Amino acid sequence: MNRLLIALTLALGLALGWGTAQLTNPSPQADRAAADSERLPAASASEAAQLEESANETAQPTEISIEALTIKEKLAQIEHLKTSLSLKNSIEVMHIIGAMSEDELRASLVERSKSGMGSINDFIVPYYTFLAWVEKNPQGAYNYFKNDANPMQKQMHAQSLFSAWASVDREAAIAAVDLIEEPEQRSRAIAAVAMSIAGENPESAYDLLASRDETKPWQLQTIFMMWAGQDADAAMVKIESMDRGDERTNALAGLINGVAQSNIRRAADMASSLPTEEERTRSTQSIMHVWLNQDTDAALGFISGMEPGKARNDIIKSSVWTLANIDGERALAFVDENMLGRDRDDAISAVIQSISREDPKEAAAMIADMPFGRVYSNAVRNISSQWGRSDPVSALGWVRTLPQGEEKERALSNVLSSFSDAKPDEALAYFTTMEAGPEKEEFLGYISNQLARNDPREALVWTASISDPELSEKAYSGVIKGWSETDPAATVAYLEGRGDTEAMEKHAGTIARSWARRDLRAAATWALNLGNDEAERVAVSQVASEWLDHDTEAASVWIAGLESGMARDEAVQSLVRKVDGSDPEAAFAWAATIDDARKRQRNTRRAIVALKEYDIEAAAELIERSELSEAEKTKLKPLVDP
Mean pLDDT on 263-271 = 94
pLDDT of residue 46: 41
Across the chain, mean pLDDT equals: 85
Per residue in 314-330, pLDDT (tens digit) is 999 999 999 999 998 89
pLDDT band of 121, cuts 50, 70, 90: low
The Cα–Cα gap between 32 and 599 comes to 59
The Cα–Cα gap between 75 and 444 comes to 55
- Specify whether the CB–CB gap between 273 and 306 falls below 8 A: no
Radius of gyration, alpha carbons of the chain: 33
Longest dimension (CA), the chain: 105
Mean pLDDT on 438-452 = 92
**Among 370-374, 498-502, 525-529, which stretch is predicted with the lowest mean pLDDT?**
370-374
The Cα–Cα gap between 452 and 479 comes to 5
pLDDT of residue 429: 92
- Degrees, nearest 5: CA angle 314-320-326: 150
pLDDT of residue 122: 66
Q: How many CB atoms lie within 10 A of CB 582?
A: 10
- The yes-or-no verdict on residue 341 having pLDDT over 60 is yes
Write down the pTM of the prediction. Answer: 0.61
Q: What percent of the chain has pLDDT over 90?
A: 62
DSSP-based three-state secondary structure for 621: helix
DSSP conformational letter for 562: S
The Cα–Cα gap between 480 and 482 comes to 5
DSSP-derived secondary structure for 280-334: HHHHHHHHHHHHHHH-HHHHHHHHHTSPSSHHHHHHHHHHHHHHHHH-HHHHHHH
Q: Taking Cα atoms as reference points, which of 400, 456, 450, 405 lies closest to residue 425? A: 450
Mean pLDDT on 166-188 = 90
- Specify whether the CB–CB gap between 125 and 112 falls below 8 A: yes
Long-range CB pairs of 199-202 (<8 Å, 24+ gap) are: 199/6, 199/9, 199/10, 199/12, 199/13, 199/167, 199/226, 200/6, 202/226, 202/227, 202/230, 202/231, 202/235
pLDDT of residue 25: 39
pLDDT of residue 191: 93
Mean pLDDT on 192-214 = 93
Q: What is the 3-state secondary structure (H, E, C) of 345-413?
A: HHHHHHHHHHHHHHCHHHHHHHCCCCCCCHHHHHHHHHHHHHHHHHCHHHHHHHHCCCCCCHHHHHHHH
Per residue in 472-521, pLDDT (tens digit) is 999 999 999 999 999 999 999 999 999 999 999 999 999 999 999 999 99
pLDDT of residue 47: 41
Q: What residues contact 622, with CB distance under 8 A and at least 6 apart? A: 585, 588, 608, 611
Q: Taking Cα atoms as reference points, which of 13, 22, 258 lies closest to residue 160? A: 13
Per residue in 17-67, pLDDT (tens digit) is 444 444 333 333 333 333 333 333 333 334 444 444 444 444 444 444 777
- The yes-or-no verdict on residue 358 having pLDDT over 90 is no
Residue 478: Cβ-neighbour burial (10 angstroms; 0-12, 13-18, 19+): buried
pLDDT of residue 181: 87
- H runs (alpha helix) in 100-211: 102-113, 121-136, 138-143, 151-168, 170-178, 183-198, 202-210
First to last CA, the chain: 90
**Among 47-61, 233-247, 353-367, 436-450, which stretch is predicted with the lowest mean pLDDT?**
47-61
- The yes-or-no verdict on residue 14 having pLDDT over 60 is no
Per residue in 407-442, pLDDT (tens digit) is 999 999 999 999 999 999 999 999 999 998 999 999
pLDDT of residue 22: 42
Q: Taking Cα atoms as reference points, which of 222, 559, 606, 560 lies closest to residue 209? A: 222
